[in-house]
């Protein structure tokens, strides 16, 4: 799923933060707490090795599906049957099975609907009044009716005899139907276009819950925010739709000759040999043939944990070859309506898809599916094996961004099958991290904006959010963007750039993907793997970044000439104030303009809260700066720098001249400046006031929240900046 920050909301979130930091005293750094041993809740087991790899008795169950389904276009109704072959490789006999009935999220009385606040939600069906949820016609086990119980989005099937351990096979057949919501929790739905509806179908058949060695049956209901945890298997689908519609889906099309014309098949063959996009069904041919009746499209995908499809008479279709590192080929395909066509929009979708898949395959693990299809629908962006749905209105950079993100999900969670319902950060966060590298690589950085990691501290390391480790259903909806995407993504960036180094990180991360490809890792398997492969102790980082919401704050405390004379060298004291330590990089700049870099390993902070070291030189020090590359998200940049001019007093100032009320058209709040006891205070609408520090030249700061306010010479307007964002306010 994708997540975009609306500019306005993010700005307001930053403002709100300033009041809370002001009110709170940061706890002091405790090195025994940060580095204490026995971080892991348990030692290695038969199924999960302490080294981070699957244990020698690792097992997981499998689920193969034969899906037959037909679409009723007038009612938006899906009617189908799912034949499931479920193999129990666990060492346990199973007296019952659990399945996921995700469509029941859209039933009126669902738990997911019950947790939608009055202010609305991205999840659910946006208040659409319709008869949502599964209608189950029959459930058969080994060909006979069997007892089943439905509870919200789950179905429990009681077995007449226990399913045998270590390879017992259960055969289930379920007949069902449901009416599709128009807006299906931003993950599936129906979109009207001028040439017909686009059906983007997902969570459309009963899926097995995962039975694992961690929780047994994973039966948490689908409430909307948390995604999925699914078993691997081979999935085949026969999809019957009106004959004028074109179907794209997960995996390989098995009956090309029955559904495409000779001419179209020739174009497919051309696309299979072309690095340039080839039109399969160009816009000029939309609506040309209007066959009546129905057509059945047959698809098959292996080593997959899910299956999705899309169908429409409105589809323009194009494709190009994907070249994989092993020499194998796959196919990038795009399906979109005329409204989305053009080089500025979906006309480049296939190019984006091909580039993303080729990059990730080269960098991390080879793409395992015969096709990667990008479909324009009404979802912001949603991922499935071999097919993704992105919004039909996306264009240019945003279409690249969402396409790259959704196909990035091929690696997390389609290949590495973590438990999304509990640990969204293991797919969204890891994906956000790899997206940055992919965007840098795409077309010589066409859409790349290098993020200033050093500036993100006050935004992501913020008491307003819960911890990363809690699930999406256990955090405020507004926290999900930070805690599932940006903060874990940034965490991997920090690990790569600052803690481990690129080569070491990449080797460990690649090992994690290879070890857990098509398996079910836990966070601990990831942590163990990163430590074992890199050889570094990282418990302090996992503890601070993922389990707690510790802050990074290091500072330059003092700079002195050694024994009173720089000819003897310089003596520098740095301190670790935040609870989360970091390796420290110190840039020493001398009066002659030359610089020297000093790197302190994180071990310095294992038994110290401040550290004094000598710089060998004979030159006078002009400036000392921490993190000169700005890659450490320190929450307080102000104390990262010491300058020889620091002690110089600033000019006297008449604070009364700066008072007044300022507003901006960009934000729904005002800033009021008042003078009390020789200090200037600022207050944003509805928030606590905070005292400003005068820096000279009409500039004030509030360092705890990284706020800088510069008044114009006539004091009629201000430039307000915080965490890298700026706004212009004018006096009322």
Nearer of residues 317 and 490 to Zn ion, judged by Cβ:
490
CA atoms within 13 A on the CB side of 161: 8
Q: Which strands, in side-by-side order, build the sheet including 94-100?
A: 148-151, 154-163, 94-100, 207-208
Output the smallest distance, CB 432 to Zn ion, in A: 8
Note the maximum CA span of the chain.
94
C-alpha–C-alpha distance, residues 167 and 50, integer Å = 26
Residue number with CB closer to Zn ion (213 or 428): 428
Q: Least distance to Zn ion from the beta carbon of 684, Å?
A: 32
286 in helix, strand or coil? coil
Q: Measured between alpha carbons, how far is 534 from 518 in angstroms, rounded to an integer? A: 23
State yes or no: residue 388 binds Zn ion (CB under 5 A).
Answer: no
Q: How far is the CB of 428 from Zn ion (least distance, A)?
A: 5
Identify residues 646-705 at the interface with Zn ion (CB under 5 A): none
| Residue (1 or 146) nearer to Zn ion, CB | 1
Closer to Zn ion by CB, 406 or 622: give it.
406
CB 149 within 8 Å of CB 186? no
Minimum distance, C-beta of residue 404 to Zn ion, in the bound complex (Å): 11
Least distance between Zn ion and beta carbon 425 (Å): 11
3-state SS of 480-513?
HHHHHHHHHHHHHHHHHHHHHCHHHHHHHHHHHH
Question: If phi over 0 gives left and psi between -120 and 50 gives alpha, with beta otherwise, what is residue 464?
Answer: alpha
Quick one: 421 or 528, whose CB is closer to Zn ion? 421
Of 383 and 575, CB closest to Zn ion: 383
Q: Nearer to Zn ion by C-beta: 124 or 488? A: 488
Terminal CA-to-CA distance of the chain, rounded, Å? Answer: 42
Short-list 367, 476, 491, CA closest to 425: 491
Using CB under 5 A as the binding rule, the residues of this chain from 158 to 187 that contact Zn ion are none
Number of residues that bind Zn ion (CB under 5 A): 2
Rounded to whole angstroms, what are the CA distances from 646 to 559, 569, 598, 619, 704?
Answer: 11, 20, 21, 18, 19
Contacts of 74 (CB under 8 A, 6+ apart): none
Please, what is the minimum distance in Å from the beta carbon of residue 294 to Zn ion?
A: 34
Q: How far is the CB of 352 from Zn ion (least distance, A)?
A: 16
Q: Within a 10 A sphere around the Cβ of 243, how many other Cβ atoms?
A: 15
Q: Answer yes or no: are the C-beta atoms of 173 and 206 closer than 8 Å.
A: no
| Least distance (Å) between residue 422 CB and Zn ion | 16
Instruction: Please report how close the Cβ of residue 2 comes to Zn ion at its closest, in angstroms.
Output: 5
CA torsion, points 159, 165, 169, 170, in degrees to nearest 10?
A: 20
Residue 405 or 515 with smaller CB distance to Zn ion: 405
Site for Zn ion in 395-454 (CB under 5 A): 428
Among 1, 314, 415, 480, which residue sits at the site for Zn ion (rule: CB under 5 A)? 1
- CB-nearer residue toward Zn ion: 64 or 428: 428
Pairing mode, if any, of strands 595-600 and 610-615?
unpaired
Chain residues binding Zn ion by CB under 5 A are 1, 428
């Amino acid at each position: 799923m994708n997540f975009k920050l609306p500019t306005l909301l993010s700005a307001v979130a930053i403002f709100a933060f300033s009041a809370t930091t002001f009110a709170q005293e940061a706890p002091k750094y405790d090195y025994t707490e940060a580095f204490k041993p026995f971080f892991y809740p348990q030692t290695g087991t038969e199924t999960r090795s302490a080294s981070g790899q699957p244990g020698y008795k690792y097992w997981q169950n499998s689920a193969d599906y034969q899906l037959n389904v037909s679409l009723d276009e007038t009612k938006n109704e899906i009617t189908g049957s799912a034949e499931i072959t479920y193999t129990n490789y666990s060492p346990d006999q199973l007296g019952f099975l659990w399945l996921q009935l995700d469509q029941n999220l859209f039933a009126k009385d669902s738990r997911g609907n019950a947790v939608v606040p009055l202010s609305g939600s991205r999840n659910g069906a946006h208040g659409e009044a319709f008869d949502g949820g599964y209608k189950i016609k029959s459930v058969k086990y080994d060909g006979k009716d069997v007892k089943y119980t439905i509870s919200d989005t789950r179905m429990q099937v009681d077995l007449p005899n226990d399913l045998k351990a270590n390879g017992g096979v259960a055969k289930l057949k379920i007949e069902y139907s449901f009416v599709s919501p128009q807006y299906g929790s931003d993950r599936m739905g129906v979109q009207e276009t001028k040439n017909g509806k686009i059906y983007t179908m997902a969570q459309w058949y009963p899926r097995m819950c995962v039975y694992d060695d961690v929780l047994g049956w994973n039966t948490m209901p689908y409430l909307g925010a948390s995604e999925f945890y699914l078993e691997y298997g081979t999935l085949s689908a026969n999809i019957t739709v009106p004959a004028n519609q074109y179907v794209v889906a997960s995996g390989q099309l098995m009956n090309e000759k029955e559904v495409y014309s000779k001419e179209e098949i020739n174009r497919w063959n051309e696309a299979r040999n072309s690095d340039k996009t080839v039109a399969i069904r160009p816009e000029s041919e939309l609506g040309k043939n209007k066959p009546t009746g129905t057509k059945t499209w047959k698809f098959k995908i292996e080593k997959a944990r899910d299956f999705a499809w899309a169908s429409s008479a409105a589809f323009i279709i194009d494709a190009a070859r994907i070249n994989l590192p092993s020499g194998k080929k796959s196919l990038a395909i795009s399906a979109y309506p005329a409204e989305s066509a053009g080089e500025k929009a979906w006309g480049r979708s296939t190019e984006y898809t091909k580039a993303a898949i080729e990059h990730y395959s080269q960098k991390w693990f080879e793409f395992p599916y015969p096709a990667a299809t990008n479909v324009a629908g009404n979802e912001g962006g949603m991922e499935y094996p071999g097919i993704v749905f992105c919004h039909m209105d996306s264009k240019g950079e945003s279409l690249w961004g969402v396409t790259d993100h959704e196909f990035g999900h091929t690696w997390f969670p389609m290949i590495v099958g973590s438990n999304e319902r509990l640990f969204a950060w293991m797919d969204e966060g890891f994906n956000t991290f790899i997206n940055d590298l992919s965007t840098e690589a795409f077309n010589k950085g066409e859409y790349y904006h290098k993020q200033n990691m050093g500036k993100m501290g006050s935004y992501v390391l913020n008491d307003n959010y819960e911890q990363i480790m809690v699930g999406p259903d256990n955090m405020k909806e507004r926290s999900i963007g930070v805690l599932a995407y940006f903060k874990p993504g940034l965490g991997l960036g920090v690990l790569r750039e600052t803690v481990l180094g690129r080569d070491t990180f990449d080797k460990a991360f690649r090992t994690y993907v290879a070890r857990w490809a098509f398996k079910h890792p836990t966070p601990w398997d990831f942590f163990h793997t990163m430590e074992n492969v890199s050889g570094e102790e990282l418990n302090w980082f996992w503890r601070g970044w993922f389990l707690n919401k510790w802050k990074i704050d290091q500072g330059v405390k003092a700079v002195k000439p050694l024994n009173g004379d720089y000819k003897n060298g310089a003596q520098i004291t740095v301190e670790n104030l935040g609870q989360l330590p970091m390796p420290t990089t110190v840039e020493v700049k001398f009066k002659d303009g030359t610089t020297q870099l000093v790197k302190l390993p994180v071990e310095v902070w294992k038994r110290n809260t401040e550290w004094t070291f000598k710089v060998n030189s004979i030159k006078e020090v002009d400036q000392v700066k921490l993190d000169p590359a700005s890659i450490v998200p320190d929450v307080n940049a102000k104390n990262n720098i010491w300058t020889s001019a620091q002690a110089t007093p600033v000019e006297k100032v008449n604070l009364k001249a700066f008072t007044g009320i300022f507003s901006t058209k960009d934000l729904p709040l005002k800033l009021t400046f008042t003078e009390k006891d020789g200090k200037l205070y600022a207050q944003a609408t509805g928030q606590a006031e905070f005292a400003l520090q005068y820096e000279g030249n009409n500039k004030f700061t509030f360092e705890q929240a990284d706020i800088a306010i510069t008044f114009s010479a006539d004091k009629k307007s201000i430039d307000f900046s915080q965490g890298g964002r700026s706004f212009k306010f004018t006096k009322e």
